[in-house]
Structures are given as C-alpha cells and as structure tokens.
Amino acid sequence: MNRTRILAILAPVALFLTACGVNSIPTAEENAKARWADVQNNYQRRADLIPNLVATVRAAATQERTVLREVTEARASATRVTVSGDQLTDPAAINRFAAAQQQLTLSLQRLQEAYPELRTNENFRDLQSQIEGTENRITIARRDYNAAVQAYNTEIRTFPSVIGARVIYGSRPLAPYQADEAAQRAPSVADAFGNGQ
C-alpha cells in the first residue's frame, strides 16, 4: 500500500474517532470526578473546622465568664464586709475590710489585664462568618460538580459521542448530587455547643 492510500484510510478513521468523543468523554468524566473531590474536600473542611472553632469560642467564653464571675463575687464580698464607726478601733474588722477590698482590687486588675482578650461577641461573629463561608464553599462545590456531571452526561448521550461512549468506553451516566432530607437543614450551632449549654 502506498502512503497516500494509508493516509486516505486513516484520516476518516481519525476524524471519526475524534468526533466520537475519544478525548472529550474521558476529559468530561475526569472533570466530574475532580469536582466531586472538591465537594468531599469542602465537607471535610467543615467537619474539621467547625468543632475547632466551637472549641475556641467556648474556651474564650469560659475565660470571660470566669473573669467576670471573679469580679462579681469579689464585689459582693467587698460590699458585705463593712466597718461601722464603733469598729474603727478593732484591727481585725479593719483587716477583714481591707482584705475584701484587696480581693476586689485584684479581680479588677485581672479584668483589666484580660480585657483585650475578652471578645466573646467577636469570637461568635467570627464563628458565624466561618460557618457561612464553609456552607457557601460547599454549595459552590456541589453546583460545580452538578455542572460537570451535566456536561459529561450530555457528552455521552449526544451524537456522535454516544458511539464512542457505548462502543469504546461503555460509559454510564454519572449521578448528580442530590441532598437527602436531613441535609435540608444546616448543622445547628446550638447542637455543637451541647444544646446551648
């Protein structure tokens, strides 16, 4: 066979194979698989991130509650210890009064030292922002996956790619992401905090 005749036979075969989705079908399939990996990645990000953020906020709130409780208790103690005019000659009464006032002073100093760290509201806002951002990433990843699945499923069902899809690859449609009933509700932050406790 001469070279021209071979090219004349191979050219239509190559054109036929190209038109049958020989390259576009695996490309579309791999794209859909990559988008699915993005979905899984974002769910994993949420699973890793949210408990850590909740623990951080919880710790900050506990520290803030502890400092404020100490100040409140010291103040209550300081107001309970009084010295009347008749007790001014009693050194023990003066010492009790001074000790109660000193305890309040120390608590107020701890409050002043901790004040820059007392940002529970800010921590809660950050937590809310991170949750919102994570849920948005998941939504975008699912949307991108479903678009890739649609492109792949369309590719393997339309002519002439349908020939290559069935004959060469035995391709089957991919399933789009569909939320189940439980996924209709976002995770509850109250549940993450132990039902608001």
Give the domain ranges of the chain. Answer: 3-192
pTM over 0.75: no
Provide mean pLDDT across the span 30-38: 91
CA distance 161 to 152: 11
| pLDDT per position as a tens digit, 117-171 | 556 667 767 777 887 888 889 889 999 999 999 999 998 888 888 888 788 878 8
Residue type, 93: A
Residue showing tokens 């701890």: 110
Q: Which residue has the tokens 């305890």?
A: 103
Q: What is the Cα–Cα distance from 121 to 196, expressed in whole angstroms? A: 16
For residue 197, name the pLDDT band (cuts at 50, 70, 90).
very low
pLDDT tens digits, 180-190: 777 666 666 66
Distance (Å, whole) CA 126 – CA 31: 34
Of the candidate ranges 68-77, 81-90, 115-124, 158-167, the one whose mean pLDDT is the lowest = 115-124
Task: Quickly tell me which residue has 């209550």 as its tokens.
Answer: 76
First-residue to last-residue Cα distance in the chain: 85
pLDDT score of 140? 93
Average pLDDT rounded to a whole number, residues 56-66: 76
Q: How confident is the model at residue 3 (pLDDT cuts 50, 70, 90)?
A: confident
What pLDDT shows up at residue 196? 47
**E strands present in 60-149:** none
Residue 67, pLDDT > 80, answer: no
DSSP string, 56-85: HHHHHHHHHHHHHHHHHHHHHHHHH----G
Cβ(67)–Cβ(118) below 8 Å: yes
Residue 151: closest CA among 5, 9, 34, 13: 34
More confident residue, 16 or 83: 83
- C-alpha neighbours within 13 Å on the C-beta side of residue 24: 20
